[in-house]
Amino acid sequence: MTDDQRFLRVAGDRLADGTGADVRLRGVGLGGWMNMENFITGYPATETLMRRAVLGVLGEERYRRFFDRLLTAFFTDADAAYLASLGLNCVRLPLNYRHFEDDRTPFKIIESGFAQLDRVIDICARHGLYTVLDLHAAPGAQNHHWHSDNPVHVPMLWEHPHFQDRVVNLWQAIADRYAGHPWVAGHNLLNEPADPTGEVIGPFYARLADAVREADPRHTLFLDGNTYSTRFDMFGEPRENTVYTCHDYALAGFVYGGPYPGITEGVWVDRDQLAEKFLERTAYQRRTGTPIWVGEFGPVYTGDPERDAQRYRILRDQLDIYDAHGAGWSLWTYKDVGLQGLVHTDPGGPHARRFGAFQAKKARLGADHWGSTDEGVRHLTEPVHAFMAEEYPDFDPYPFGRRKFTEDLMRHILFAQPLAVEYADLFRGLDDGELDALADSFAFDACVRREPLADLLAERCRTSSATAERPL
């Protein structure tokens, strides 16, 4: 197959290469790499707050040494070879805009920011893996949470044309750079947008998509729905060569979820409920006859064999549902410190020895909403929830209501942000060799594989066809 034939394009409800063969993208998201997240690499609060605190301890030169080495160790040929060995064919690459643009010099593209991205795209290509470029943290923040590097939990992208202009400018630079790369499957323009009014996102997507098409008319666009990629009512007729991506996290697979089947937050969750949510989240795609791609899904793991067996059952049931509908998917996430990753840092390695007690404190304080519960701080949070319910009974803020809004402000800001200073202080006094060992803790050969998960993915890639029969 020639390079030109590697380019993918929407063909009805499928993706196809230049020969006309169907290509069903099945892979992983590389969370924690060029967009770091607190539960993935072990820090508290948001990436920018963490980096600022660590910079204050290490100084500019050693700060750059550590993070450059971490980014390089996080994904290498060994990682790509492993993913290919499982039968996967795609890696979704989440990006933080701060690698490519500085808030102090908006609209000026940082050329050096592309070095790591170029490296990993080329590594994946060598191993037959397509890449999807995903803007996970946009200027102004497109959603409320840590994964868009948002310290204030207000998505300002939707309120300020300045931020929107910067997103357009950045995407034109990215699209222009990779317009001729055949192993780039496409451009995922915004991860999990959350426009509170629902009125800005549609026109902005149209503007952004047109700007990207101008720079790169060939690659497929991947558009996430509003409200964290679950709602698609802002879209009318589908755009040419565009995939509308849903995210499909199972309620029983969250850190507080379970049992499965069983009740989580008052909802009975079983295979039928998983199928119902999937059909709800893909109604637009099925109605318009466009490809179904689940950009994120996957349970978290607890370390308890019985509960984790239930989590694998959730995953198996979801994959059955995706197979029945010919859906592609990208599991969240590939590598972390032990909560969710297909591979994770060694519990006995340098990173765990240095940060293990700190991560236990984070868990006790419930500072990572994705990776911990409020059990250790419930004596503090429940009176506040009761107060909010009594004083503001009609308060129902977008996107997830009063209780989750209140939890976010307490746990993600009040409890988590002061921990950034404490985390950074754990770097104090380390020599260069010790810093290198911490970064290298994320290298493939230093990590532990989650074998039941790997076996499940490999078995699924072997046995499910890219032309899976779908129900009428």
- Residues 190 and 170 sit within 8 Å (Cβ to Cβ): no
Q: Rounded CA gap, 253 and 308, in Å? A: 9
Q: Rounded CA gap, 384 and 377, in Å? A: 11
Residue of 37, 47, 101, 192 marked catalytic: 192
Q: Is 296 a catalytic residue?
A: yes
The angle at the Cα of 252, spanning 248 to 256, to the nearest 5 degrees, equals 115
Backbone angle region of 198, left / alpha / beta, with phi > 0 → left and psi within -120 to 50 → alpha: left
- Residues 372 and 362 sit within 8 Å (Cβ to Cβ): yes
- Residues 75 and 122 sit within 8 Å (Cβ to Cβ): no
Residue of 61, 296, 306, 459 marked catalytic: 296
Phi and psi at residue 131, in whole multiples of 5°? -125, 145
The DSSP string of 410-451 is: IIIIIITTTHHHHHHHTTTT--HHHHHHHHHTTSGGGEEE-H
- Tokens at residue 416, please? 């988590």
- Tokens at residue 146, please? 């840590």
- Residues 164 and 157 sit within 8 Å (Cβ to Cβ): yes
Q: How many CA atoms lie within 13 A of 153 on its CB side?
A: 18
Q: Match 């007729």 to its residue by tokens.
A: 237
- Residues 331 and 457 sit within 8 Å (Cβ to Cβ): yes
Residue 24: which of 97, 101, 88, 119 has the closest Cα? Answer: 88
Residue 63: which of 446, 440, 437, 432 has the closest Cα? Answer: 432
Catalytic annotation, residues: 192, 296
